[in-house]
Chain A
Amino acid sequence: MFTASLILIISTGLFFFYLQVACQRILRKRFEEEYYRAIVHANRLEFPAVRKSLEEFDAPVDYSRVRMTLQCDYLALTYLLKNAANVNQRFTGEERLLIFYFRAVFFSLVLRHVLKLREKPAILRLTAILQYFANVVGQRVSTVRFGNLAASDYLLSL
């Protein structure tokens, strides 16, 4: 009985660990340009500011504001992922996986807050996922051209 319990706990833990590692591998994908900047600028997204405040200034986490910010950015980016320059108007498999991953990490952020654990690693993970989404949207949008300008150039000039 003891062995089975141990196997159940370790296997369940490792199952989620491997899922997380697979998601992290997808997030490590390199883009030729920093496409996300144009999307952040055009849509007034706030996740880069959140990340900067945590990484560079080590500012204390204003939980309720950060949570609302990340949630709004997530909603905006998932809408854009589905509808902006997306002919199929569907999420791809890896986008679905990362959406699931975002929700799981977001849930862990809520748990960390309730249990009074460090929230910073979860927030940084969430911003990394949002940056990936913004990069994907930016890359798609940059393929659409208006005369001499790519859509991303146009967005940057706003």
Chain B
Amino acid sequence: MRYLGVAFQYAVYLLEAGLVASLVVRRRAGRLLPAFLYLSLLLVIDGLGRPFVLYRYGYTSDEYGYFYWLTDVLLALGSFLLVCAFFQRACLREPRIWRFVRLVVAFVFVLTFAISLFTLSRNYDQLFTRFIVEFQQNLYFTCLVLNTLLYILMQQIQSTDDELNLLVCGMGVQFAGPAANFALVHLTPGQDYASALYPYLGALCTMGMLLTWFYAVTRTPQTAAIPAREAKRAEFEAAAAPHEA
């Protein structure tokens, strides 16, 4: 079972590195800058930082525990910012909606960041208790709710941006699995199976996200997104225009 977890972890490292390389080679890093930055952060923390600390201090050390959980919070906050960037991309042709969404998203981010900082600093000494489980559960769930609101917004404005749609789906998988797992750990105190599941489920969900993103980057056409309203207007104008001989 332990080897399975290691295999998953190495698969995640390979996918992270492959996706970053793919974005650079295909010259899509600029177009997908927020996703590229997030992936680079993920690669540095998950692919380099954690293995280094693990190698240096060992799996059962406090140092590794603190590094793992604090970087996990950092990654969750990073993905929160990424969802905000996706909101901006979704509202590219809807400036009025973006003006409102920008305020809400900024407020929610500042609030989440402040609460995270406050509760972490107050409970820093009890990081390995139930506190971190509850904290991570709430943080992932907040990200999941925000991501789902983005998905609903995209359906409402009839966004035709297939790439963004897949990126959002990937994020959804990445948030939903760990949120459910943390909630299960919280609900079953003293049961090891729920917490033992996290390394596998977390890695599987990250793999799910990375594979969906791979598909989005490599398979979806690179055409610019045309909002449905404009597409409909163009269709209507083409139909209404007099036919040329």
Q: Which residues of A contact B (CB under 8 A)?
A: 1, 4-5, 7-8, 10-12, 14-15, 17-19, 21-22, 25-26, 28-29, 93-94
Chain B residue nearest to A28 (CB atoms) is: B162
Decide if B179 touches A11 in the complex (CB within 8 Å). yes
Query: Could you say which residues of chain B place their CB within 8 Å of the CB of A29?
Result: 219
Contact of A5 among B175, B183, B215 (CB under 8 A): B183
CA distance A12 to B187 in the complex (A): 14
Which residues from A are CB-within-8-Å of B165?
21, 25
Partner of B176, one of A1, A11, A25, A94: A11
Are A14 and B187 in contact (CB-based, < 8 A)? no
Rounded to whole Å, the gap between the CB of A93 and the closest CB of chain B is 6
A1-B187 contact, Cβ under 8 Å, with A11-B179, A15-B180 = yes
The answer to whether residues A18 and B187 also contact, given A7-B141, A93-B211 and a CB cut-off of 8 A, is no
Which A residues lie within 8 Å of B175 (CB)?
11
The minimal Cβ–Cβ distance linking A135 to chain B, given in whole angstroms, is 15
- Kindly list chain A residues whose C-beta atoms are within 8 Å of the C-beta of B202: none
Q: Does B169 count as interface, using CB distance less than 8 angstroms?
A: yes
User: Do B176 and A18 touch across chains, with their CB atoms under 8 A apart?
Assistant: yes
Say how far B15's CB is from chain A's closest CB, in angstroms: 11
| 17 residue pairs A–B, Cβ–Cβ below 8 Å | A1-B187, A4-B183, A8-B184, A8-B187, A14-B176, A15-B180, A15-B205, A19-B173, A22-B166, A22-B169, A22-B170, A22-B212, A25-B162, A25-B165, A25-B169, A28-B162, A29-B219
Q: What string of 1s and 0s marks CB contacts (under 8 Å) between B201-214 and chain A?
A: 00001001001100
Known: A18-B172, A18-B173. A7 touches B166 (CB 8 A): no
Taking a contact as CB atoms closer than 8 A, the residue among B141, B169, B212 that contacts A11 in the complex is: B141
Within the complex, what minimum Cβ distance (angstroms) separates A59 from chain B? Answer: 31
- Docked pose: A21 CA to B141 CA in angstroms: 19
Instruction: Say if the beta carbon of B148 comes within 8 Å of chain A.
Output: yes
Nearest Cβ on chain A to B30's Cβ, whole angstroms: 24
**B194, chain A: closest CB distance, angstroms:** 10
Q: Would you give the shortest CB distance from B222 to chain A, in whole angstroms?
A: 15
Q: Is the interface of B mostly helix, strand, loop or mixed?
A: helix
Interface centre among A1, A5, A17, A25 (most CB of B within 10 A): A25
**B19 interfacial by beta-carbon distance below 8 Å:** no
User: Complex: how many Å from CA A21 to CA B148?
Assistant: 12
In whole angstroms, how far apart are the Cα atoms of A36 and B70 in the complex? 51
> Which 9 residue pairs are nearest across A and B when measured between Cβ atoms?
A18-B172, A15-B176, A11-B180, A8-B183, A11-B179, A7-B183, A4-B186, A22-B169, A14-B176
Q: Is B187 touching A25 in the complex (CB atoms < 8 A)?
A: no
In whole angstroms, how far apart are the Cα atoms of A25 and B144 in the complex?
A: 20
Q: Is the CB of A8 within 8 A of B166?
A: no
- Which residues of A lie under 8 Å from residue B144 when comparing CB positions? 10-11, 14
**Min CB distance, B19 to chain A, in Å?**
13
Residues of B within 8 A of A14 (CB): 144, 148, 172, 176
Contact partner of B169 among A8, A10, A21, CB < 8 A? A21
* Contact partners of A17 in chain B: CB under 8 A: 172
Report chain A residues within 8 Å CB of B219. Answer: 29
**Least distance between B209 CB and chain A CB atoms (Å):** 10
Instruction: Give the distance in Å from the alpha carbon of A94 to the alpha carbon of B219 in the complex.
Output: 11
Q: Which residues of A contact B176 (CB under 8 A)?
A: 11-12, 14-15, 18
